Amino acid sequence: MSRASVEQLIKSQLADKEISDLDQKEIITHYLTAYATEKERTKVEMTVDFFPSEISDEGTAENDTYSVIKWVKGIAADLGLGFGWAALYFSVFTAWWGGITPGKKLCGLRVVKLDNSPLTLWESFGRYGGYGAGLATGLLGFLQIYWDPNRQAIQDKISETLVLDVRRQAVK
């Protein structure tokens, strides 16, 4: 609303009142000052709601860059594949299917304890926690299978397990 429109509105409200011209001018000045102050405050609040980079050409060029990692993260977020689902997958399948997850079944692998007892749900969850340790070591926890004499990764050391290739035939 323009200042002239606001002034006209105030004058129309004061027209039927018995107020002196001096008092009317004082009231109009007071309300116009308040209107200008409120308009300026609203203008400042509106400019805080966004960042200039969101509307500039540089900001859109950065956001339009294609990234495979962002794409995979987006799909994982859309499907709800976060920490909770991964923990459920690695813990429940490993415990209930005798050390096999669907991925291990496809690759012909099986997780067994060193004493050949079945993994409990809690032990499977502990083994899943070892994946975090593998990531925290800069993936060295996973790569240690290449120099470890028992070919155990960090999650296997933590949970006292081995990963066996069940496709291989036993040597006679």
Q: What distance lies between CA 15 and its chain's CA centroid?
A: 59
Q: What is the 3-state secondary structure (H, E, C) of 95-126?
A: HHCCCCCHHHHHHCEEEEECCCCCCCHHHHHH
| 125 in Cβ contact with 92 (< 8 Å) | no
Is 44's pLDDT higher than 80? no
Residues 61-119 pLDDT 10s:
455 567 887 887 777 777 666 677 888 889 999 999 999 999 999 999 999 999 988 89
Domain chopping of the chain, boundaries: 3-62, 80-165
- Predicted confidence (pLDDT) at residue 60 exceeds the cutoff of 50: no
List pLDDT tens digits, range 118-129: 899 999 999 998
The CA angle 113-117-122, to the nearest 5 degrees, is 70
Query: Is the pLDDT assigned to residue 55 strictly greater than 80?
Result: no
Mean per-residue pLDDT of the chain? 81
The C-alpha angle with vertex 40 and arms to 34 and 44, in degrees rounded to 5, equals 145
pLDDT at position 170: 58
Each residue's pLDDT tens digit, 159-169:
999 999 988 76
